[in-house]
A and B are shown apart, each in its own frame.
Chain A
Amino acid sequence: MKPHLLFADDDFRPEDPLPPGTESLGEDLGLATLLDAMGGGDGNLRAVATAVTLHPLTDPSAITYRQAVLSDCLDNREVVAQIHELAEAAIAEEKKVWGLFTNVPSGRLHRAVGVLALFTAHLRRLRAIADANTGRFGSDGFRHLVSTLKTELSDEYLEGMDRHLQLLRFRSGVLSSAGVGLGAKAGDWRIHLSTQPAINWWQRLRLWWKRSDALRIVVRPGDDDLVAELRGQAINEAAAALSEAMEHVLSFFSSLRFELGFYLAAANLHDRLVDLGQPTCLPTPGPGGAAVLQARDLYDPGLLLRSGGKVVGNDLDADGKSLVLVTGANQGGKSTFLRAMGVAQVMMRAGLFAPARSFSAPVARGVFTHYEREEASEAGLGKLEEELARMSQVVDWLTPGSLVLLNESFSSTNEAEGAAIASGLIEALVESGVTVACVTHSFELADHFARSGRDDVAFLRAERREDGTRTFRMLPGAPAPTGHGEDLYRLIFGRPLADDARRGPPG
Chain B
Amino acid sequence: MGFASVLFPAPTRSTEIDAPPVPSSFTDLDFDQIVKAVVVGHDEYRLPPYFRLPLESVDAVIYRQEVFAALDGTPLRETMVHFADRMRSVRAMLTLAEEMRHRYQRRSWLLTAAATYVGTATGLLSELEQAPVTARALVGLRERLIRYIGSEAFETLRQDMTEAQDAIARVRYTLLFYARVIRVRRFEGETDYGEEIASFFARFQQRGGTDHHLEMAGRPAMNRLEQRALDRVVALFPDAFGALDRFCEAHPVWLDELVVRFDREIQFYLAYLGVVRSLRAFGLPVCYPVLSSSKDEAVDSTYDLALALRRLAQSEEAGGAGAVVTNDYRLSGPERIIVVTGPNQGGKTTFARAFGQLHWLAALGCPVPGANARLFLADKVLSHFGWGENLGDMRGRLEDDLVRVRETLAQASDESVVILNEVFSSTTLRDATVLSRSVLAELSRLDALGVCVTFVDELASFDHKTVSMVAGVDAVDPTVRTFKLERRPADGRAYAVVLAERYGLSHDRVKERLAR
> Is A248 touching B205 in the complex (CB atoms < 8 A)?
yes
| Contact A388-B503, Cβ < 8 Å, known A230-B229, A432-B514 | yes
> Is A11 touching B175 in the complex (CB atoms < 8 A)?
no
Chain A residue nearest in CB terms to B223 = A226
CB within 8 Å of B: which of A208-224?
211, 213-219, 223
Asked whether any CB of chain B lies closer than 8 Å to the CB of A431, the reply is yes
A8 / chain B contacts, CB cutoff of 8 Å: none
Q: In the complex, A279→B191 CA distance in Å?
A: 63
B213 / chain A contacts, CB cutoff of 8 Å: 236-237, 240
CB within 8 Å of A: which of B207-246?
207, 209-214, 216-217, 220-226, 228-230, 232-233, 235-236, 240
> Is A215 touching B176 in the complex (CB atoms < 8 A)?
no
Asked whether any CB of chain A lies closer than 8 Å to the CB of B104, the reply is yes
Query: Smallest distance from the beta carbon of A418 to chain B beta carbons, Å?
Result: 8
> Is A182 touching B109 in the complex (CB atoms < 8 A)?
yes
Q: In the complex, A175→B185 CA distance in Å?
A: 11
Interface 9-residue window, one of B309-317, B331-339, B368-376, B492-500: B492-500
Q: Mark B122-161, 1 if CB is under 8 A from A, else 0.
A: 0000000000000000000000000000000000000000
Query: Smallest distance from the beta carbon of A90 to chain B beta carbons, Å?
Result: 12
Chain A residue nearest in CB terms to B222 = A185
> Is A184 touching B505 in the complex (CB atoms < 8 A)?
no
CB within 8 Å of A: which of B300-358?
none
Asked whether any CB of chain A lies closer than 8 Å to the CB of B425, the reply is no
Query: Smallest distance from the beta carbon of B299 to chain A beta carbons, Å?
Result: 27
CB within 8 Å of B: which of A138-187?
152, 160-161, 164, 168, 172-187
> Is A183 touching B109 in the complex (CB atoms < 8 A)?
yes
> Is A183 touching B499 in the complex (CB atoms < 8 A)?
no
Indicate which residue in A103, A160, A434 contacts B200 across the interface (CB closer than 8 Å).
A160
Asked whether any CB of chain B lies closer than 8 Å to the CB of A61, the reply is no
| Contact A183-B100, Cβ < 8 Å, known A432-B511, A432-B514 | yes
Asked whether any CB of chain B lies closer than 8 Å to the CB of A196, the reply is yes
> Is A216 touching B510 in the complex (CB atoms < 8 A)?
no
> Is B503 touching A247 in the complex (CB atoms < 8 A)?
no
Asked whether any CB of chain A lies closer than 8 Å to the CB of B192, the reply is yes
Indicate which residue in A152, A172, A215, A236 contacts B203 across the interface (CB closer than 8 Å).
A152
> Is A244 touching B191 in the complex (CB atoms < 8 A)?
no
Query: Smallest distance from the beta carbon of A1 to chain B beta carbons, Å?
Result: 4
Q: In the complex, A249→B200 CA distance in Å?
A: 12
B236 / chain A contacts, CB cutoff of 8 Å: 215
> Is B216 touching A177 in the complex (CB atoms < 8 A)?
no
Asked whether any CB of chain B lies closer than 8 Å to the CB of A24, the reply is no
B511 / chain A contacts, CB cutoff of 8 Å: 428, 431-432
Interface 9-residue window, one of B45-53, B165-173, B264-272: B165-173
A216 / chain B contacts, CB cutoff of 8 Å: 181-184
> Is B514 touching A213 in the complex (CB atoms < 8 A)?
no
Interface 9-residue window, one of A38-46, A356-364, A378-386: A378-386
> Is A239 touching B182 in the complex (CB atoms < 8 A)?
no
Indicate which residue in B205, B217, B225, B500 contacts A421 across the interface (CB closer than 8 Å).
B500
A428 / chain B contacts, CB cutoff of 8 Å: 507-508, 510-511, 514
> Is B209 touching A247 in the complex (CB atoms < 8 A)?
yes
Interface 9-residue window, one of A79-87, A391-399, A486-494: A391-399
> Is B175 touching A429 in the complex (CB atoms < 8 A)?
no
> Is A183 touching B184 in the complex (CB atoms < 8 A)?
no
A182 / chain B contacts, CB cutoff of 8 Å: 108-109, 112, 217, 220
Asked whether any CB of chain A lies closer than 8 Å to the CB of B174, the reply is yes
> Is A217 touching B503 in the complex (CB atoms < 8 A)?
no
> Is A179 touching B229 in the complex (CB atoms < 8 A)?
no
> Is A105 touching B214 in the complex (CB atoms < 8 A)?
yes
> Is A185 touching B220 in the complex (CB atoms < 8 A)?
yes
CB within 8 Å of B: which of A407-424?
413-414, 417-418, 420-421, 424
> Is B185 touching A185 in the complex (CB atoms < 8 A)?
no
Q: In the complex, A231→B229 CA distance in Å?
A: 12
A414 / chain B contacts, CB cutoff of 8 Å: 496
Interface 9-residue window, one of A250-258, A316-324, A331-339, A468-476: A250-258
Indicate which residue in A11, A236, A420 contacts B216 across the interface (CB closer than 8 Å).
A236
CB within 8 Å of B: which of A427-463?
427-429, 431-434
A77 / chain B contacts, CB cutoff of 8 Å: none
Indicate which residue in B169, B176, B212, B223 contacts A243 across the interface (CB closer than 8 Å).
B212
B216 / chain A contacts, CB cutoff of 8 Å: 105, 232-233, 236
Indicate which residue in A194, A236, A248 contacts B202 across the interface (CB closer than 8 Å).
A248
Q: In the complex, A190→B224 CA distance in Å?
A: 22
Asked whether any CB of chain A lies closer than 8 Å to the CB of B392, the reply is no
Query: Smallest distance from the beta carbon of B218 to chain A beta carbons, Å?
Result: 10
Asked whether any CB of chain B lies closer than 8 Å to the CB of A193, the reply is yes
Indicate which residue in B105, B186, B207, B225 contacts A230 across the interface (CB closer than 8 Å).
B225
B497 / chain A contacts, CB cutoff of 8 Å: 417, 420-421
Chain B residue nearest in CB terms to A256 = B206
B203 / chain A contacts, CB cutoff of 8 Å: 1, 152
Q: Mark B472-516, 1 if CB is under 8 A from A, else 0.
A: 000001001000000000000011110110111111101101110
A400 / chain B contacts, CB cutoff of 8 Å: 514
CB-based closest 9 A-B pairs:
A245-B201, A173-B178, A424-B507, A428-B510, A248-B204, A243-B212, A432-B514, A226-B225, A192-B190
Could you list some 7 contacts between A and B, CB below 8 A?
A160-B200, A186-B226, A226-B223, A226-B224, A230-B229, A395-B513, A420-B496
Other than the given A183-B108, A243-B212, A424-B506, 16 more pairs (CB < 8 A) read: A108-B214, A161-B200, A180-B240, A182-B108, A184-B104, A184-B105, A193-B191, A196-B176, A215-B235, A219-B180, A240-B213, A248-B204, A248-B206, A248-B209, A384-B496, A432-B510
